[in-house]
Amino acid sequence: MSELVPAEVFAPGDFIREELEERGWTQADLARIIGRPVTLVHQIVTGSRRITPTTAHELSEAFGTSPELWMNLDSVYQLRKTEVERDAIRERRHIFDYAPIRDMQRRGWIKKVDDIATLTAELCRFFRVRSLDQAPQQVANARASIESEDGKLTTEQTAWCYRALQLATGMQVEQYSRKALDACVDGLRMLMEEPEQVRQVPKVLAASGIRFVIVEHLPRTRIDGAALWLNDRSPVVALSMRYDRIDCFWHTLCHELSHIRNRDGTMLDVDLIDEGKIQPSAKSEVEVRANRESGAMLVPPDELDNFILRVKPYYHKSRISGFARSQHVHPGIVAGQLQHRRETDYSANREMLVKVREIVVSAALTDGWDQQLKIDW
């Protein structure tokens, strides 16, 4: 709705002058009528003194008007007299609506500047747009696994995706193909038994043409991972490592690889892992399929089904560990899959869910946890 702005605003004193002239009164006459000093009336007429509620009542009695008339005349006049530069404020508001400025500056993604022109230039550089009238194009149509009212990513989620793409741009990897991805999955299966082996994940992915980056999530984003594309032949897997558990790492990685394998486009997975628990359901068929294929990459479904049939409900640690050894995966991965299927409680077998974040970030191109990298496009 457009604002209604008066074409011209007059001071209350101008109206008082008109009333005095019409009645043939002087300022001294008005002062005697309302029982106030002449100096006060003069100050009100010249605009050097504001109209108070008491004065408004006195003027209303003197001129036969309402006190609201004089209060409104004074308020409108004062607002117009103290009006600030609206365009400048709207420009600054647009900038802070466009991106999470404070978080981006804290992470070193853009410079810490106060000048609006310089800040605008920093955002244009980061998002690769000519002006902030343009929406960030590379991920503007991304589909998030969490549904929102308008189907768009938040500014924080968009900034996170751009940072991931920014890091991935400078990486050198082999040529990507579906065949290379299938070989990659086989190679990853050989790394799932020991936590230290996750150090080899970036190298295995790069050999298959997949860029792998880790970007610590921004506040309020709840991002776990994303499958992104620099172009039609250059996939990127980005993880946030929001939850430091071996099962969460492998499940999210394989989930994003499913998106890559099926060429689902740019996919941002939000709340894929909630409070450390792999979510058993998803909001779209694509996400359901990615969850299913992720589980199959970790533990063959028929093998897990047989294990469950044999031991349910007695999921002793020794049985989980024995089954994990037979599948050449870490026990934490099996424990996570049992939680995912709701065969065990979230609190069960917590000691198996070992931490791997420190191992992964030491080998991968990482932004976060004091490992900010300043890489230009």
Residue 206 identity: A
Residue 151: predicted pLDDT: 60
Whether residue 189 is contained in a domain is answered as yes
Has residue 55 got a pLDDT over 70? yes
Residue 2, pLDDT score: 45
pLDDT band at 139 (very low <50, low <70, confident <90, very high): low
Q: Are residues 170 and 275 in the same domain?
A: yes
The pLDDT score that the predictor gives to residue 1 is 40
263 lies in the same domain as 340: yes
370 or 167, which is more confident: 167
pLDDT for the residue 86? 74
What is the pLDDT of the chain when averaged over all its residues? 89
Q: What is the mean pLDDT of residues 357-372?
A: 88
Return the pLDDT at 148.
44
91 and 70 in a common domain: no
66 with 150, same domain: the answer is no
Residue 79 CA to residue 252 CA, distance in Å, equals 55
pLDDT digits (tens, 9 = 90+) for 63-80: 999 999 999 999 988 888
**Are 284 and 310 found together in one domain?**
yes
Instruction: Give residue 57's domain range.
Output: 12-81
pLDDT at res. 77 = 87
Q: Are residues 150 and 250 in the same domain?
A: yes
Are 110 and 147 found together in one domain? no
Can you say whether the dihedral through the CA atoms of 79, 84, 90, 93 is positive or negative?
Answer: negative
Q: pLDDT per residue over 325-343, tens digit each?
A: 999 999 999 999 998 888 9
Position 137 in a domain? no
39-48, 75-84, 88-97: least confident range: 75-84
Q: What is the mean pLDDT of residues 215-239?
A: 93
Using 50, 70 and 90 to split pLDDT, how confident is the model at 111?
Answer: very high
What single letter denotes the amino acid at residue 102?
R
* Residues 44 and 71 both lie in one domain: yes
234 within some domain: yes
Backbone angles phi, psi at 223, to 5 degrees: -80, 135
Given the structure tokens 């490592």, which residue do they identify?
Answer: 241
Q: Is the pLDDT of residue 4 over 50?
A: no
Residue pLDDT, tens place only, 144-197: 554 444 467 899 999 999 999 999 998 999 999 999 999 999 999 999 999 999
- 71 part of a folded domain: yes
Domain count within the chain: 3
- Residues 323 and 340 reside in one and the same domain: yes
Q: Is the domain of 215 the same as that of 358?
A: yes
Do the Cβ atoms of 245 and 336 come closer than 8 Å? yes
If asked whether residues 107 and 208 sit together in one domain, one would say no
